[in-house]
Amino acid sequence: SLDLNAECATAMTAEGFVHTNLLRDPEAGFQRYEEALRVNPNDSLAWLLSGALHAFRDEGEVAVVEVQRALSLSPLDPMRYFYDSLAATAALAANDYQSARAYALRSLRTNSAHTSTLRALIIAEALLGDTAAATRATDRLYRLEPNFSIENFLARSPSNISDFGRRCAAALRVAGVRESTDSGDQS
């Protein structure tokens, strides 16, 4: 798409997502989101994904501001569950666990099988001290993703090198998530 139209904000945003989540190059992801927003300052998805990247980098307050902008730009988005899921992530990064839980629950009302949202809910509930609710959400997650573990969460999350990622992993441990899917490790 960018070869056909170098100023396509949607394609820039998609490329930013690829850099961030697949190529593990968050700096290139940020650059693409910034370019997309230069071309179209009202691109809600670019604001949303940029906000999530700020969350992954321990910049919770910036993450919340950007995600809120995304939500305001697209209040009736057909992918609202995804927006709410990343709003939960931003709230977690900002240490606002009540809001994180509220966003996660709203997201799950629309898409009960979104495992990323279930992870955010587990983390929020564990950080709120509601271990029983976090454990119930963990059981729900395992029904959808039986091989989920802290090891594979950290391996695939852009937050894996940040304090935020380590706080999330610790909260997942509190909720009883396995360290790894190796048959010898049932912790």
Q: What is the pLDDT of residues 106-133, one digit of tens each?
A: 999 999 999 999 999 999 999 999 999 9
Report in angstroms the alpha-carbon separations of 110 from 34, 81, 85, 138: 30, 6, 11, 19
H helices of the chain, in order, are: 9-17, 26-39, 44-56, 60-73, 80-93, 97-110, 115-127, 131-144, 150-156, 163-174
Answer yes or no: are the C-beta atoms of 107 and 85 closer than 8 Å: yes
Q: How many other C-beta atoms are found inside a 10 Å radius of the C-beta of residue 111? A: 16
Is pTM, for the whole model, over 0.75? yes
Cα separation, 117 vs 74, whole angstroms: 19
List Cβ<8 Å contacts ≥24 apart for 66-75: 66/90, 69/44, 70/44, 70/45, 71/44, 73/42, 73/43, 73/44, 73/47, 74/44, 74/45
The per-residue pLDDT for range 64-112, each reduced to its tens digit, is: 999 999 999 999 999 999 999 999 999 999 999 999 999 999 999 999 9
